[in-house]
């Protein structure tokens, strides 16, 4: 659990982030109330859709999070829902996500189904008045926009399931990057691991149409979104993909995103790396930042980064956290559910990540079709 000091620092950050995003639209009284507020947001009662790998992992994260209660689960089979409910001490088990989306037993749905069966559930959840945490990737930017529109119309929050965005290392990096290394010129990322099991949904082109580009490449795109200066405009993309001979699924890819002002992001992802390779390397005018294992934290939940500057010794910065990013994600959802001004920042991250992913996917398909 978080320490009180961690909580108040975190709440202060959320309040400042909200204030900087919408401060101009808040009355001075509302602004003062928000800055002074110190009570945790109301508890969200969560329902999980799906009983697979990430659903199981996030059940534990929901249980560890403040302002979160694991209340229900739905599965295509009632027996699976009941077994999951028993394993994680969940009060309600449904054999229909529609029923759970319209139930008064939950306030929020975590949609942990394959990508091709995610939009319909997210939209139904929003229409049922439930806040929505949808797993990544989404099917397309158009799909993201339909989900976000449904969330806006029903006054509920939306977030995607990217954990590292919620760890304090990410905002420490954003706050101090320019001071450490000067103007950023390049973000290079790798997200590649070894997945040989062809029965995994990631090799099923109907359930996960973008294969490794969608599953692992999502993190490369998010690394660009989080580590480049905010709002920098994409100018051009080059990308290639590799297909698995057995299933035809995309099992890896690489490429370059070129942004205005000469900024670049190079990336590699795949299901065929052994050992795994996961890093972010940022170059700036005056130095470099390394984040090895950028998706993970140490056992005390802290995460590291290393700053290198010409002529000096590398400095390691360890950024402490009371909880892992996955737990903080559910706490941030509770905050966004309680405070609508916090929602746009998360929605923009999802949109920008998905827009890069769509661009990469279409360029890689075109390159494949033209035999390049
Ligand atoms: N954010 C992260 O860190 C993270 C990590 C891992 C995965 N993911 C994403 O989460 C998604 C799920 O991954 P996973 O590894 O948990 O997959 P998984 O183990 O195969 O679980 C998917 C679950 O979705 C449910 N489902 C509903 N409709 C389905 C259908 N038509 N076909 C198959 N399953 C269906 C199933 O639950 P029932 O049988 O109970 O209905 C199944 O157990 C993927 O898109 C993946 O990219 C995100």
- Average pLDDT of the residues in 137-145: 98
Ligand 1 atom with the smallest distance to the CA of 116 is 31
For the cut 50, the answer to whether the pLDDT of residue 12 exceeds it is no
Task: Kindly report whether the peptide bond that precedes residue 275 is cis, defined as omega within 30 degrees of 0.
Answer: yes
* Alpha-carbon gap, residue 299 to 240, rounded angstroms: 36
* Alpha-carbon gap, residue 124 to 120, rounded angstroms: 6
Question: 193: Cβ below 6 Å to ligand 1?
Answer: no
370's CB contacts (< 8 A; 6+ apart) are none
Question: 161: Cβ below 6 Å to ligand 1?
Answer: yes
DSSP string, 256-311: EEEEGGG-EEEEEEESEEEEEEEEEEEEESSEEEEEETTT---TTS-EEEEEEETT
* Alpha-carbon gap, residue 360 to 168, rounded angstroms: 28
Residue nearest to atom 18 of ligand 1 (CA): 52
Residue nearest to atom 40 of ligand 1 (CA): 75
**Four-CA torsion 97, 100, 106, 108, nearest 10 degrees:** 30
For the cut 80, the answer to whether the pLDDT of residue 20 exceeds it is no
Ligand 1 atom with the smallest distance to the CA of 55 is 16
- Domain 165-324+354-369, second-level architecture: 2-Layer Sandwich (3.30)
- Average pLDDT of the residues in 105-115: 98
Percentage of the residues of the chain whose pLDDT score is greater than 90: 88
330's CB contacts (< 8 A; 6+ apart) are 44, 46, 58, 61, 62, 65, 67, 68, 133
Question: 82: Cβ below 6 Å to ligand 1?
Answer: no
- Average pLDDT of the residues in 247-263: 98
In the chain, count of helices (H) and strands (E)?
12, 14
Ligand 1 atom with the smallest distance to the CA of 115 is 45
Residue closest to 304 by CA, chosen among 314, 319, 283, 315 = 319
Q: Which residue is it, tokens 């799906």? A: 50
Contact 34, 21 (CB under 8 A): no
At 4, the pLDDT band (50, 70, 90 cuts) reads: very low
Confidence (pLDDT) at 62: 98
* Side-chain half-sphere exposure of 236, counting CA atoms within 13 A: 3
Q: Which residue is it, tokens 């158009």? A: 142
- Average pLDDT of the residues in 321-341: 98
Domain boundaries, given as residue ranges, for the chain: 4-162+328-343, 165-324+354-369
Contact 211, 205 (CB under 8 A): yes
At 17, the pLDDT band (50, 70, 90 cuts) reads: very low
* Alpha-carbon gap, residue 268 to 213, rounded angstroms: 9
Whether the domain at 4-162+328-343 and the domain at 165-324+354-369 fall into the same CATH topology: no
Confidence (pLDDT) at 37: 52
Task: Kindly report whether the peptide bond that precedes residue 137 is cis, defined as omega within 30 degrees of 0.
Answer: yes
Q: Please give the CATH topology (third level) of the domain spanning 4-162+328-343.
A: Rossmann fold (3.40.50)
- Average pLDDT of the residues in 7-23: 37
How many other C-beta atoms lie within 10 A of the C-beta of residue 26?
A: 16
Buried b (16+ CB within 10 A) or exposed e, 34-51: beeeeeebeebbbbbbbb
Residue nearest to atom 35 of ligand 1 (CA): 113
Ligand 1 atom with the smallest distance to the CA of 161 is 1
Q: Which residue is it, tokens 């920008």? A: 352
Contact 233, 368 (CB under 8 A): no
Confidence (pLDDT) at 39: 82
Residue nearest to atom 11 of ligand 1 (CA): 114
Residue closest to 286 by CA, chosen among 304, 309, 253 = 309
pLDDT in tens, 165-189: 999 999 999 999 999 999 999 999 9
Report the chain's mean pLDDT, rounded to a whole number: 91
- Average pLDDT of the residues in 217-229: 98
Q: How many residues does the chain have?
A: 372
For the cut 80, the answer to whether the pLDDT of residue 33 exceeds it is no
Question: 54: Cβ below 6 Å to ligand 1?
Answer: yes
Residue closest to 147 by CA, chosen among 188, 177, 118, 186 = 118
Contact 283, 185 (CB under 8 A): yes
């Amino acid at each position: 659990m978080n320490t009180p000091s961690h909580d108040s620092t975190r709440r202060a950050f959320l309040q400042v982030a909200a204030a900087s995003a919408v401060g101009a639209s808040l009355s001075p009284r509302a602004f003062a109330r928000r800055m002074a507020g110190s009570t945790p947001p109301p508890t969200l009662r969560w329902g999980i859709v799906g009983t697979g790998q990430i659903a199981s992992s996030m059940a534990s994260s929901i249980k560890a999070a403040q302002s979160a209660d694991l209340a229900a689960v739905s599965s295509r089979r009632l027996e699976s829902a009941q077994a999951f409910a028993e394993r994680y001490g969940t009060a309600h088990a449904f054999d229909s996500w529609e029923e759970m989306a319209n139930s008064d037993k939950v306030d929020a749905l975590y949609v942990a189904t394959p990508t091709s069966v995610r939009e319909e559930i997210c939209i139904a959840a929003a229409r049922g008045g439930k806040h929505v945490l949808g797993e990544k990737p989404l099917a397309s930017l158009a799909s993201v926009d339909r989900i976000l529109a449904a969330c806006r119309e029903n006054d509920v929050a939306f977030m995607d399931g990217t954990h590292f965005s919620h760890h304090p290392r990410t905002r420490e990096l954003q706050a101090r990057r320019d001071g450490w290394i000067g103007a950023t010129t390049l973000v290079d990322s790798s997200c590649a691991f070894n997945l040989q099991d062809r029965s995994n949904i990631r090799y099923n082109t109907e359930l996960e149409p973008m294969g490794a580009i969608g599953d692992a490449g999502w993190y490369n795109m998010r690394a660009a979104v989080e580590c480049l200066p905010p709002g920098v405009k994409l100018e051009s993309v080059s990308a290639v993909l590799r297909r698995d001979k057995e299933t035809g699924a995309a099992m890896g890819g690489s490429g370059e995103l070129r942004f205005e002002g000469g900024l670049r992001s190079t990336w590699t992802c795949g299901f065929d790396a052994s050992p795994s390779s996961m890093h972010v390397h940022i170059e700036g005018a005056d130095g470099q930042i390394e984040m090895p294992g950028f998706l993970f934290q140490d056992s005390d939940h802290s995460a590291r980064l290393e700053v290198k500057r010409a002529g000096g010794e590398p400095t390691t910065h360890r950024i402490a956290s009371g909880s892992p990013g996955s737990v903080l994600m559910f706490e941030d959802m509770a905050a966004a559910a309680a405070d609508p001004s916090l929602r746009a920042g998360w929605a923009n991250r999802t949109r920008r990540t998905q827009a890069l992913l769509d661009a990469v996917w279409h360029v890689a398909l075109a390159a494949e079709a033209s035999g390049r």
